[in-house]
Structure 1
């Protein structure tokens, strides 16, 4: 690459709500980015006061759903290449180098997956479906946007997607109440999505779907090999499936 070549610039985006434990580490790990934008859903803790110490752009926006929040953040980015990690994901120096190299030499790729190691109750979870967990964390906004799902949103890309050799550690679990609150939010958003599709819950959804989720995660996807942590994860996720259809049932009956 010649000295006169202009290197592509990178915008780092994040969405947040009450992330005072992670925000400082997250911002400092993105020192390689040319621009950092934080879209915050009106945090009530010290997230904003901590973030304000840094030279970043902070935007307050009411939370609607994950796709709209992320796509809004993308619309504010000055640069085409976007890194969009969750605040509970740890970006290593090796991953940083790989990101920079990919942006400089994309090799006809418009996005890149990052493999994730999930930690729960202080233990790395190797089974239950998490053994193949990956997510797009670098992409070119000219060819990519989030697919519109209210929850479990994914990047929809027009073009080839690569995958990085270096993964990251994902610490989604702070404490049990916090993790359960996340599942409650996911259940609510999934219920809203089903309501928009005019799907009405019945006995199949209330009894079979939660049971199937537990069996699928704990036995078929080998969560049993993660021991008690695998059992707890399978149980709380199966219960979140039950809550999804309970919340859907309540929406049809206009019950808060």
Structure 2
């Protein structure tokens, strides 16, 4: 009998009832599934219980700390990180199970992610992003990035071939809401890095990012959905630096650029020290 490597799957959730069933269905064969939930109010918990997952609830601490808490709750050395709006393709399930049966030869594995892009899935010819998701936790942890916290591993990284499906951006409204929230969340991180030349970055980087997305990553293969996605992605890049620039302007001017008789409305970026005297 083959001494198979056991696998723990860990997931963080908050009101993911719409996508969680597909996620859990794709990993129900795993030896353990751990969920850390941020007090969902929909049917997320009921779905998790239906699949026999180990559920812990904790108030949201940030993406990195929340994922680290879920990772710490796993009991097996080999772990797979999934978002609640992701699911393993059938081919990926087979590829991972065979890998675990014959013992992993690397310390971590990157997986290509095939996105649902509004009304369609990525054309397979599109260049997909690869994400480190399957790894030996004795050699890795979750990094401290404020939004896109992800595993980091000391050791050899290999790539799997079959895709992970992502249902995070099922319509334009959802994608725009997400980039608005993410770009705001990244301001504090960029302040720590003391970015310079922000106006020039706002002017030149978004068009270059559009070209990279639409041409070099072959988003043109996705028709109008690919064009719309690339435009929104370039706007996301613009928003990150525009909000950083806005922060600096509030810190510099406060309300001094408003008319003297205009009652000022507060901003989350406004510095009290820069208010009108």
Both structures adopt the same fold (TM-score exceeding 0.5): yes
- Report if the CA contact (8 A) 1:184-1:240 is conserved: yes
Deviation at 1:107, TM superposition (A): 4.4
Q: Deviations over 1:50-92 (max 9, x none)?
A: 3233422222233343333222211111111111122222323
Aligned counterpart for 1:240 among listed residues 216, 219, 236: 236
Aligned counterpart in structure 2 of residue 95 of structure 1, from 69, 92, 98: 92
Once the two structures are overlaid, the 10-residue window that deviates more, 56-65 or 10-19, is 56-65
Q: Structure 1 residue 200: deviation in Å?
A: 5.3
* Structure 2 match to 1:11: 8
Contact in 2 for aligned 1:201/1:245 (Cα 8 Å): no
| Gap runs ≥5 in structure 2 | 252-266, 269-277
Partner of residue 216, structure 1: 212
1:71 aligns with 2:68: yes
Would you say how many aligned residue pairs link Structure 1 and Structure 2? 252
Q: Do 2:37 and 2:57's aligned partners in 1 also have CA atoms closer than 8 Å?
A: yes
For residues 144-223 of structure 1, the aligned pairs below 5 Å read 144-199=140-195, 202-223=198-219
Asked if 2 retains the 8 angstrom alpha-carbon contact of 1:8 and 1:104, the reply is yes
Q: TM-score, normalised by structure 2?
A: 0.79
Secondary structure at 1:55 match in 2: coil
1:90-143 per-residue CA deviation (whole Å, 9 max, x = no partner) reads 323432232223223334311122222222122233499x51322222111001
Cα deviation, residue 12, structure 1: 1.0
CA contact (8 A) 1:115 1:133 kept: yes
RMSD: 2.5
Q: Residues 145 and 200 (structure 1 numbering): CA distance in 2 closer, same or farther, change over 3 Å?
A: same
Structure 2 Cα separation of the partners of residues 221 and 56 of structure 1: 37
Between 1:186-195 and 1:50-59, the stretch displaced more is 50-59
1:83 matched to which residue of 2? 80
Instruction: Pick closer, same or farther for the CA change 1:181–1:44 going to 2, 3 Å.
Output: farther
The residue number in structure 1 matching 2:259 is none
Partner Cα distance (2:51, 2:44) in 1: 12
